């Protein structure tokens, strides 16, 4: 029987820092090139006000914080320190900050760690000089290597590196060399994902020449093999954690388990289960100037018809998926409502028998499977 | 504004597309004060949007004009417009039935075209007086002498008094009007009791119900008269009679000899069939001869892509049929496409127009199967059956003979392109019957299987002759031929709506072409899609659409969900426009793949 979902006891907090040194041609996030001095202090004050307002929606404990961007590492460590002193953030287990190699001059990772950051994600993207230029990145391979080395030395709980494949003019061999070099950097976590040409980006308007669908599928297969052979366990489509410890990103896993999260900062998104059982999505004003005048929030209820597909879009990304009962916990809906789609997908060997997780075949056709729940 | 019957002239304009019929009609309307200058939208008579866009006339329309002749008398001229495409020759002869004369408009730079020849013959058979008119005299390439010779030699009309005009500049229009009044006879008085009005056209108007365009042959029609459509037998009271000027204008009476419209509260769309006669209720007045029903030449399955639209589609087809006597339809079920309609058309253009009207005017989304001609088959018991859907052809060995329709094809072409045209005709299994050199053109007659003519022959003919060749064709006879059914199978399932009947010698090539064109049209899916062409159990071609290797959104974090979901919705929307056959999604265009195969 359908009922109403209980608000979860823990939530994540996403904090958006919307500025970049330069906008990359493939990026469709809410990022803005900045010129002149950053208004750090004012922005942090806005974030704190925003957080206070968001906390009205929930009585759950914030367990993870993720500073994303844009380029959060443009902000000084002290800015994060100030924010992390907020009373609601005294029980957090994981605090991730995204850092870009070209935007770290004069700042040390040790200072960020001392300010309370315990996980860093470095946007390497590629270690091939030509590819970096084609991606419009401002850093060189060596700057990337140095940044990662520094991050590893600083003593974070875990360091992630982002890399893309299927880059302009990239062959399978090039992609594998790129990945091998990345693995050798020795981080605990790797996000390795295919370049997606998004509309409303420079690449969207003038698409670069990339390998064929089949060649990129070959790259992906070869890369998955390399990563596995090097001790990296895939736990999500593009996320790999080293099996020498528990290195999966808690904050992201919470998204993928269709958990709740608060979103603060310009253009940030959140998803919260209210006390009355309705689930809402929140979004902040996108332009930084507007956001700093008024931290306006738009909220929209996710209605019951939308819940199954939104749930599946997330949980099926994870290799282990979720237990069947989790669907009811998060959505309040009965799994029976997904019939006959669910049984059909199981018969077609797309979804595993006793869990909401994909088979290997299903993992290659994630979108087609999710689409069925629309 | 009733006129004495001696001062009425009912006429049509016979002309090939591009020969300037609409421009001439506009010019006549302008000259005879039908519209104010500012109301003259170009080509007023082509009223449907589609006609305007394609620059051709599909439905007949009429307009009443008032002309003051040089002799000081005022004449009522009723111009009944006729379609100008090879598919619609039937509608032309229908319009001619309501006329006493016709202007044969020939482009003085291009010469006589095959279809005008055929139409002229029908006009002459109907006793209609034909006045040849050479148009486009303003063009420097105009060759009036050569073209006049063609008119004499090919059609057999005297060109001693041929009128030379330019509808574009207005030159010669006055003389044309004078000749028209002088040479086209007035309608004949009838001594029949009561009233007789031939329904030339009927259409459905959302406010008025059924409106019928009629030519009164005897008596008079007025508001309040109680009438019946002869073959229907139901009594109606006339609400309104009137004429088009070309605006709709009420009049008190439609007199004998006049052309106008009748509205009689007929709601039901079969209540006023085209070709029927309106007579007074409870009278003994006989019907007029009317005209034979047009026979559809090609048949295709039309299916709503959303099965919920089936009823809406039936209603839409019924409404279209009211204005389009040549359109036939009946319910058909396909394993692949579900419930739909088998529709009969005069030709490809007719089919395209019906399709477009259903989609545009009735907001339906359609899947159309490749059209087929009608075959006659004889089974072992000696019984003859007609088959208009190739999938119905029994290939279990019960059929002992298949006969295909043969068209008599008349082509006029300048000698420079004669070689190309003959080659095209022979390539289409044509047999030459005659060839005549005349004026600047060659008149060719071929017998060609209808299936080779109806689909793209006209386009190909135009392209091999740089647009100079003209075509007219009509069904002639059925003839036995070595024909086989080629089935298309997708993942082992026969797709009924893709079956085709093909000459045995060409079956293998056609099967291969179909398979490869299907391969290009079917998108990759989760599974391999095997496409086969087969004759009976024998596979003659096979190909595979390889499965998608990966279809995975690379990144999805908290903020992306809404946008990523929209992308999926868009993908799904795209699939909605496809038909699921088994597990395979087949795009709508694939069902028309047979047409894109280059013959």
* B361, two tokens: 């005017």
Residue of B nearest to A259 (CA): B558
Contacts of B220 (CB under 8 A, 6+ apart): B195, B253, B254, B255, B256
User: With contact defined as beta carbons under 8 Å apart, do A356 and A321 qualify?
Assistant: yes
pLDDT on residue B58: 41
Strand partners, B469: none
- d(C-alpha B350, C-alpha B325), whole Å: 12
Q: What is the largest CA-CA distance in chain B?
A: 88
Sign of CA dihedral B227, B230, B235, B237: negative
Q: Which of A69, A358, A370 to mutate to test the interface with B (most CBs of B within 10 A)?
A: A370
Residue contact A238–B554, C-beta within 8 A: yes
pLDDT on residue B290: 72
Q: Which residues of A touch B571 (CB under 8 A)?
A: 367, 371
User: With contact defined as beta carbons under 8 Å apart, do B414 and B466 qualify?
Assistant: no
Residue A287 neighbours by CB distance under 10 Å: 13
Strand partners, B538: B535
Q: Which residues of A touch B528 (CB under 8 A)?
A: none
Strand partners, A68: A16
- The complex's ipTM works out to 0.91
pLDDT(A30) > 50 = yes
User: With contact defined as beta carbons under 8 Å apart, do A271 and A256 qualify?
Assistant: no
pLDDT on residue A123: 94
pLDDT on residue B293: 67
* B63, two tokens: 């307009």
Q: HEC profile for B136-184?
A: CCCCCCCCHHHHHHHHHHHHCCCCCCCEECECCCCECHHHHHHHHHHHC
Q: Which of A191, A364, A373 to mutate to test the interface with B (most CBs of B within 10 A)?
A: A364
Write the DSSP symbol of residue A267. Answer: T
Write the DSSP symbol of residue B349. Answer: H
Q: What DSSP assignment string belongs to B389-444? A: SGGG---SS-EEEEEEEEEEEEEEE-GGGHHHHHHHHHHTT-EEEEEEEETTEEEE
Sign of CA dihedral B272, B274, B280, B285: negative
The list of chain B residues with pLDDT below 50 reads 1, 43, 46, 48, 52, 54-60
Question: How many interface pairs between A and B have CB atoms less than 8 angstroms apart?
Answer: 94
Residue B4, CA distances (Å) to B64, B65, B189, B258 in order: 15, 15, 11, 10
Residue contact B549–A193, C-beta within 8 A: no
pLDDT on residue A54: 96
Write the DSSP symbol of residue B272. Answer: S
Residue contact A237–B554, C-beta within 8 A: yes
pLDDT on residue B589: 83
User: With contact defined as beta carbons under 8 Å apart, do B184 and B177 qualify?
Assistant: no
pLDDT on residue B165: 93
Closest CA of chain B from A366, distance in Å: 5
Q: Is residue B245 helix, strand or coil?
A: coil
Closest CA of chain B from A337, distance in Å: 20
Residue B235 neighbours by CB distance under 10 Å: 13
Residue A304 neighbours by CB distance under 10 Å: 15
- d(C-alpha B532, C-alpha B492), whole Å: 8
Closest CA of chain A from B315, distance in Å: 32
Q: Which residues of A touch B552 (CB under 8 A)?
A: 194, 237, 363-367
pLDDT on residue B60: 47
Is the minimum CB–CB distance between B537 and chain A shorter than 8 Å?
no
The H or E element that residue B135 is part of is strand B129-135
* B523, two tokens: 């998108």
Candidate from A213, A267, A270 with C-beta closest to B549: A213
Q: Is residue A114 helix, strand or coil?
A: helix
Contacts of B145 (CB under 8 A, 6+ apart): none
pLDDT on residue A87: 96
Structural domains of chain A ordered from first start: 10-254 (3.20.20.70), 304-374 (1.10.10)
The answer for A186, left when phi > 0, alpha when psi is -120 to 50, beta otherwise, is left
Residue contact B549–A217, C-beta within 8 A: yes
Q: Which of B452, B299, B311 is nearest to B369 (CA)?
A: B299
φ and ψ at residue B63, rounded to 5 degrees = -145, 135
Q: Which of A220, A239, A269, A318 to mutate to test the interface with B (most CBs of B within 10 A)?
A: A269
User: With contact defined as beta carbons under 8 Å apart, do B440 and B398 qualify?
Assistant: no
- d(C-alpha B253, C-alpha B240), whole Å: 9
Q: What DSSP assignment string belongs to B377-402? A: EEETTS-EEEESSGGG---SS-EEEE
- The mean pLDDT of chain A is 94
For chain B, how far is it from start to end, CA to CA, in angstroms? 58
Pairing of strands A119-125, A158-165: parallel
- d(C-alpha A170, C-alpha A236), whole Å: 24
- d(C-alpha B317, C-alpha B260), whole Å: 26
User: Helices then strands (H, E): number in chain A?
Assistant: 15, 16
Interior/surface letters B452-491, b for 16+ CB within 10 angstroms, e for the rest: bbbbbbbebbeebbeebbbbbbeeeebeebebbbbbbbbe
Q: Is residue B518 helix, strand or coil?
A: helix
pLDDT on residue B598: 55
Q: Which residues of A touch B564 (CB under 8 A)?
A: 313
Task: Taking residues A316-329, report their average pLDDT.
Answer: 96
Write the DSSP symbol of residue A358. Answer: B
Task: Taking residues A132-141, report their average pLDDT.
Answer: 92
- d(C-alpha B496, C-alpha A144), whole Å: 60
* B310, two tokens: 């089936």
Residue B408 neighbours by CB distance under 10 Å: 16
Residue contact A269–B549, C-beta within 8 A: no
* A283, two tokens: 């979004």
Q: Which residues of A touch B (CB under 8 A)?
A: 12, 14, 29, 68, 193-196, 213-214, 216-218, 220, 237-238, 252, 255, 261, 263, 267-271, 281, 306, 309-310, 313-314, 317, 350, 363-368, 370-371, 374
pLDDT(A3) > 90 = no
Is the minimum CB–CB distance between B554 and chain A shorter than 8 Å?
yes
- d(C-alpha B523, C-alpha B547), whole Å: 9
pLDDT tens, position by position, A202-255:
999 999 999 999 999 999 999 999 999 999 999 999 999 999 999 999 999 999
Q: HEC profile for B52-118?
A: HHHCCCCCCCEEEEEEECCCCCEEEEEEECCCCCHHHHHHHHHHHHCCCEEEEEEECCCCCCHHHHH
pLDDT tens, position by position, B362-415:
999 888 888 999 999 999 999 999 999 999 998 888 899 999 999 999 999 999
Closest CA of chain A from B571, distance in Å: 8
Is the minimum CB–CB distance between B38 and chain A shorter than 8 Å?
no
pLDDT tens, position by position, A138-161:
899 999 999 999 999 999 999 999
Residue of B nearest to A318 (CA): B556
pLDDT tens, position by position, A64-109:
999 998 899 999 999 999 999 999 999 999 999 999 997 776 578 9
pLDDT on residue B39: 52
């Amino acid at each position: 029987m359908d009922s109403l979902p209980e608000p979860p006891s823990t939530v994540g907090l996403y904090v958006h820092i919307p500025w970049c040194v330069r906008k990359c041609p493939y990026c469709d996030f809410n990022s803005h090139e900045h010129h002149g001095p950053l208004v750090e202090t004012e922005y942090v004050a806005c974030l704190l006000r925003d957080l206070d307002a968001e906390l009205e929606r929930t009585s759950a404990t914030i367990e993870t914080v993720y500073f994303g961007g844009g380029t959060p590492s443009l902000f000084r460590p002290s800015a994060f320190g100030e924010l992390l002193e907020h009373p609601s953030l005294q029980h957090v287990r994981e605090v991730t900050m995204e850092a870009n190699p070209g935007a770290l001059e004069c700042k040390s990772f040790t200072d960020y760690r001392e300010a309370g950051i315990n996980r860093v994600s470095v946007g390497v993207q590629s270690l091939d000089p030509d590819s970096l230029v084609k991606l419009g990145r401002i850093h060189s391979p060596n700057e990337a290597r140095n940044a990662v080395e520094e991050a590893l030395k600083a003593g974070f709980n875990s360091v992630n590196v982002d890399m893309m494949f299927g880059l302009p003019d990239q062959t399978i061999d090039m992609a594998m060399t790129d990945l091998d070099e990345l693995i050798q950097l020795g981080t605990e976590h790797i996000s390795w994902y295919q370049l997606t040409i998004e509309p409303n980006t420079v690449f969207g308007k003038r698409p670069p020449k990339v390998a064929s669908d089949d060649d990129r599928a070959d790259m992906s297969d070869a890369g998955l093999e390399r990563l596995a052979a090097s001790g990296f366990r895939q736990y999500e489509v593009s996320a790999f954690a080293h099996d020498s410890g528990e290195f999966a990103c808690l904050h992201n896993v919470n998204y993928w388990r269709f958990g709740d999260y608060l979103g603060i900062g310009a253009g940030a998104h959140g998803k919260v289960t209210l006390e009355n059982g309705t689930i809402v999505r929140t979004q902040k004003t996108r332009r930084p100037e507007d956001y700093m005048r008024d931290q306006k929030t738009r909220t929209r209820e996710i209605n019951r018809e939308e819940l199954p597909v939104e749930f599946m879009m997330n949980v099926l990304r994870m290799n282990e998926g979720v237990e069947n009962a989790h669907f009811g916990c998060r959505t309040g809906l009965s799994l029976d409502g997904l019939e006959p789609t669910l049984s059909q997908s199981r018969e077609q060997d797309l979804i595993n028998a006793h869990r909401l997780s994909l088979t290997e075949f299903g993992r290659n056709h994630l979108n087609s499977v999710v689409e069925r729940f629309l | 504004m009733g006129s004495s019957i001696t001062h009425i002239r009912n006429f049509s304009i016979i002309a090939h597309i591009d020969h300037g019929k609409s421009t001439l009609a506009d010019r006549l309307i302008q000259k005879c004060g039908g519209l104010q200058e500012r109301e003259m939208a170009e080509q007023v008579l082509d009223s449907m949007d589609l006609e305007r866009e394609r620059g051709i006339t599909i439905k007949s329309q009429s307009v009443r004009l008032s002309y003051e002749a040089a002799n000081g008398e005022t004449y009522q001229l009723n111009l009944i417009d006729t379609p100008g495409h090879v598919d619609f020759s039937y509608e032309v002869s229908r319009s001619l039935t309501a006329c006493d004369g016709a202007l044969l408009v020939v482009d003085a730079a291009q010469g006589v075209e095959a279809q005008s020849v055929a139409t002229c013959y029908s006009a002459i058979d109907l006793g209609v007086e034909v006045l040849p008119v050479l148009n486009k005299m303003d063009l420097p390439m105009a060759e009036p002498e050569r073209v006049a010779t063609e008119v004499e030699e090919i059609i057999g009309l005297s060109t001693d008094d041929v009128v030379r005009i330019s509808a574009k500049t207005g030159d010669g229009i006055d003389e044309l009007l004078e000749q028209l009044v002088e040479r086209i006879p007035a309608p004949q008085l009838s001594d029949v009791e009561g009233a007789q009005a031939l329904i030339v056209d009927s259409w459905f108007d959302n406010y008025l119900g059924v409106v019928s365009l009629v030519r009164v042959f005897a008596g008079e029609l007025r508001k309040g008269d109680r009438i019946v459509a002869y073959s229907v037998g139901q009594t109606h009271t006339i609400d309104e009679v009137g004429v088009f000027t070309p605006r709709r204008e009420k009049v008190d009476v439609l007199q004998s000899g006049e052309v106008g419209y009748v509205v009689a509260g007929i709601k039901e769309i079969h209540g006023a069939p085209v070709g029927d006669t309106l007579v007074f209720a409870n009278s003994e007045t006989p019907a007029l001869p009317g005209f034979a029903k047009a026979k559809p030449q090609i048949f295709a399955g039309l299916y709503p892509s959303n099965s919920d639209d089936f009823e809406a589609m039936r209603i839409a087809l019924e409404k279209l049929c009211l204005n389009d006597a040549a359109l036939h339809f009946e319910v058909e079920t396909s394993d692949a496409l579900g419930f739909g309609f088998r529709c009969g058309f005069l030709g490809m253009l007719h089919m395209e127009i019906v399709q477009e009207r259903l989609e545009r005017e009735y907001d339906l989304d359609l899947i159309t199967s490749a059209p087929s001609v009608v075959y006659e088959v004889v089974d072992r018991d000696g019984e003859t059956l007609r088959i208009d859907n190739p999938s119905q052809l029994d290939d279990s060995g019960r059929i002992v003979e298949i006969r295909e329709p043969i068209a008599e094809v008349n082509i006029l072409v300048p000698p420079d392109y004669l070689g190309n045209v003959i080659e095209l005709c022979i390539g289409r299994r044509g047999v030459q019957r005659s060839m005549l050199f005349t004026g600047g053109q060659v008149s060719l007659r071929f017998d060609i299987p209808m299936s080779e003519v109806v689909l793209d022959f006209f386009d190909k003919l135009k392209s091999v002759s740089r647009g100079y060749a003209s075509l007219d064709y009509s069904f002639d006879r059925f003839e036995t031929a070595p024909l086989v059914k080629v089935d298309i199978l997708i993942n082992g399932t026969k797709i009924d709506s893709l079956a085709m009947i093909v000459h045995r010698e060409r079956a293998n090539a056609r099967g291969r072409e179909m398979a490869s064109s299907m391969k290009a049209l079917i998108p990759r899916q989760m599974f391999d899609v095997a496409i086969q062409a087969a004759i009976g159990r024998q596979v003659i071609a096979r190909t595979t659409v390889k499965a998608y290797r990966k279809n995975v959104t690379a990144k999805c974090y908290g903020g992306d969900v809404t946008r990523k979901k929209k992308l999926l919705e868009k993908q799904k929307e795209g699939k909605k426009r496809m038909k699921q056959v088994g597990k395979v999604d087949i795009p709508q265009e694939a069902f028309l793949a047979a047409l894109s195969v280059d013959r």
